Amino acid sequence: MRETNWAGNQTFTAERIFRPRTVEQIQDAVAGAPAVKPLGSGHCFNDIADCPGGVQLDLSALDMDVVLDAESSTVSVPAAARYGDIAVQVHAAGFALANLASLPHCTVAGTVATATHGSGRRNQSLASVVSGLELVAADGELKTFSRHDGVVVGLGALGVVTRLTLDLVPSFDLRQDVFDGLAWESVYEHFDEIQDAGHSVSLFTNWARDEVDQVWVKGPGQPGADFFGATAADGPRHPAHAAGIPADNCTRQLGVTGPWHERIPHFRLDFTPSIGNELQTEYFVPIRHAVEAMEAMRELGHRLAPVLLTSEIRTVAGDELWLSPFQGGDRLALHFTWLPDEKAVRELLPVMEERLAPFDVRPHWGKLFHRAADYPKLPDFRALADGLDPGGKFRNPFVRRHVLRES
């Protein structure tokens, strides 16, 4: 039974956790509870998955199969399936998911509910490949939705997702190459070319040094040896290499080709991802503001660096999912892996958000932030939540604060 989130900075306040084995048990539990909330693998850093005084549902014991349909290139998965597990089955059948996040440990339903993403200018968030899902609404009824119904990025506020159907692409191989020391001038001048250098590209920095510490390129071919002035790494790197963290938990680098699901995530399924003792924040701005937003963070570099383990710069393709931070166009993603000093982090967040406000900033729903963004479809989402959950049993303090804006 999980009493805290993965990071340990949130202690869940549910009265009890229930592990249903069947959809019928979920339906009964939801219909009978005044307050209920599904929990995935608990990798969010805020109180989005908490359920004060209510019933938290852990779906990991649900008796449900993964069903791959080669004809339609789709896979139907149980809500609590972990990406790392389904990826092996999908790959064995000759297929792939178009993209993955930095870690393969999260559940599909929890990942999709917060519009979790990877990197790559042509890669949308992991939520965008959901073509449909099944959800138990507040009255206990099982309903089916398509990607166009506004439910996919649901923040756990609409009901309990039991099963999701994901679009697949043909399986593919990638290699992962890391480069050290890319000058900021090169980042600004060649931003488009750098982002186009692979399927997925990440830059790691602490914002205070004169150059970006590392560039990770995951692509089908070998990038040029002189990567815009950066040099090929002489050994495996962890994203927080500059903070002295070893690369033992990282996926294979040094240009060795391998299957998509063993190269796109930064971290291996059989290890603790990232660092473990950390907090995270992430902001998204429209790609046209990329250079200005990076400059704004560099101006804050002297305040950010003492609290940072590392920071990652990525790109995410736009979509039309109602509460997706990428709704309406491609975005630059500015991610921050903090030391576990929540007080210091919370003091910085309003300062960072003020600096990024001119750039239409939107925070990651699953990480630490100060103020949620306004979305064009927020009124529609509230109406959808009212319809599926008129009594508000899925509305925890996070939803009331950031979606309903009650306080």
Identified binder of ligand FAD from the candidate list 27, 76, 107, 281, rule CB under 6 A: 107
d(CA 357, CA 106): 30
Shortest Å distance, C-beta 12 to ligand FAD:
10
DSSP letter at 167 equals: E
Length of the chain, in residues = 407
Token representation of residue 39: 């929990």
Toward ligand FAD, which CB reaches closer, 161 or 194?
161
Minimum CB separation of residue 122 from ligand FAD in Å reads: 17
Site for ligand FAD in 160-219 (CB under 6 A): 160-161
The total of other beta-carbon atoms located within 10 Å of residue 250's CB is 24
Q: How far is CA 111 from CA 53, 298, 389, in A?
A: 24, 29, 22
> How far from chain centre, in Å, is Cα 315?
13
Work out the end-to-end distance of the chain between its first and last CA atoms, rounded to an integer number of angstroms.
31
For the bound state, the minimum distance from the C-beta of residue 41 to ligand FAD, rounded and expressed in Å, comes to: 4
Q: Give the x-and-dash track for 319-358 against ligand FAD (CB under 6 A).
A: ----------------------------------------
120 binds ligand FAD (CB under 6 A): no
Q: What's the one-letter identity of residue 144? A: T
| Inter-CA distances, 145 with 62, 131, 213, 375, Å | 20, 9, 44, 21
By the rule CB under 6 A, 110 interacts with ligand FAD: yes
Toward ligand FAD, which CB reaches closer, 190 or 346?
346
The residue range among 17-25, 31-39, 89-97, 246-254 that interacts with ligand FAD, by the rule CB under 6 A, is 31-39
In the bound complex, what is the minimum distance in angstroms from residue 299's beta carbon to ligand FAD?
Answer: 25
CA quadruple 73, 77, 83, 88: dihedral, nearest 10: -60
Give the x/- contact pattern for ligand FAD in 66-85, rule: CB under 6 A: -------------x------
Size of the site for ligand FAD (CB under 6 A): 35
Q: Hey, which residues between 127 and 166 contact ligand FAD (CB under 6 A)?
A: 154-156, 160-161
- Identify the residue among 39, 129, 368, 385 touching ligand FAD (CB under 6 A): 39
Q: Measured at the alpha carbon of residue 83, what is the angle toward residues 122 and 142, in degrees to the nearest 5?
A: 100
251 touches ligand FAD by CB under 6 A: no
Identity at 263, one-letter amino acid code: R
Q: Read off the tokens for 46.
A: 């805020």
Shortest spacing between CB 1 and ligand FAD, in angstroms: 14
37 binds ligand FAD (CB under 6 A): yes
Residue tagged 């903090």 (tokens): 338
Q: What is the dihedral of CA 118, 120, 124, 125, to 10 degrees?
A: 10
Q: Catalog residues that contact ligand FAD under the rule CB under 6 A.
A: 6, 37-44, 48-49, 59, 79, 101-103, 106-107, 109-111, 113-114, 116-117, 154-156, 160-161, 273-274, 280, 364, 366
